[in-house]
Amino acid sequence: MRNISRLSALAVAMLAANPALAAGGGISLQNTDFVVFLGLVVFIGILVYFKVPGMIGKMLDGRAEGIEGELNEARALREEAQTLLASYERKHREVQEQADRIVEAAKEEATIAAEQARADLEVSLARRVAAAEDQIASAQAAAIKDVRDQSVSVAIAAAREVIAKQLTAADANQLIDGAIAEVEAKLH
């Protein structure tokens, strides 16, 4: 490896020397282009000798491996995040479906309860109407009875007056005797 490095440095020096020679100065330390070239070659040679390119390559490889590891970790995190997102979306859909079912069930229960309440109200109204009709019939019967009782009382009072005016004492005694006999006959 050292031989290849030395040969490549010599080849570079020879190729670079041609322009320096063409400038007219030849190989001399007075020629600034040649001195700069020699400094560059020596600097590159020192870098090669101390294996700086290999160290730089290792550092770059390490950095590349670190970046690759970070990318792999980022991919894994992304996949995990997508999995979690899919899971949460699925759970959200399930919860939404369950909420829809609950709302639908509540609507059905409310409809059934409203129908039941309506039926109960109709039954209650029918009972109240029947009770009111019974009260009306009872009040009507009581009123009719009161009217009859009063008309009987008035008729009796009128008959009493008429009989008292037309009846003599002998006729009254005869009626009393007839009533006693009739009561006696009915009792025995």
Give 52-60 contacts, CB < 8 A, sequence gap 24+.
Answer: none
What integer is the mean pLDDT of 35-59? 93
Residue 24, domain extent: 15-113
Instruction: Let me know if residue 28 belongs to a domain.
Output: yes
Contact 16, 31 (CB under 8 A): no
Q: How confident is the model at residue 31 (pLDDT cuts 50, 70, 90)?
A: confident
Residue 26 CA to residue 77 CA, distance in Å, equals 65
User: What does the mean pLDDT of the chain come to?
Assistant: 85
pLDDT of residue 170: 78
- Asked whether the whole model's pTM tops 0.75, one would answer no
pLDDT of residue 3: 46
Domain count, the chain: 1
pLDDT of residue 24: 53
Residues with Cβ within 8 Å of 41's Cβ and at least 6 positions away in sequence, in order, are 9, 12, 13, 16
Q: How confident is the model at residue 164 (pLDDT cuts 50, 70, 90)?
A: confident
pLDDT of residue 56: 92
Statement: residue 113 has pLDDT above 80: yes
Residue listed under structure tokens 């009709």: 133
pLDDT of residue 178: 87
167 torsion bin: left (phi>0), alpha (psi -120 to 50), beta (else): beta
pLDDT of residue 173: 82
What integer is the mean pLDDT of 152-161? 81
Which stretches does DSSP call E strand in the chain? none
Statement: residue 13 has pLDDT above 80: no
Instruction: Let me know if residue 106 belongs to a domain.
Output: yes
Q: How confident is the model at residue 20 (pLDDT cuts 50, 70, 90)?
A: very low
Instruction: Let me know if residue 144 belongs to a domain.
Output: no
pLDDT of residue 30: 86
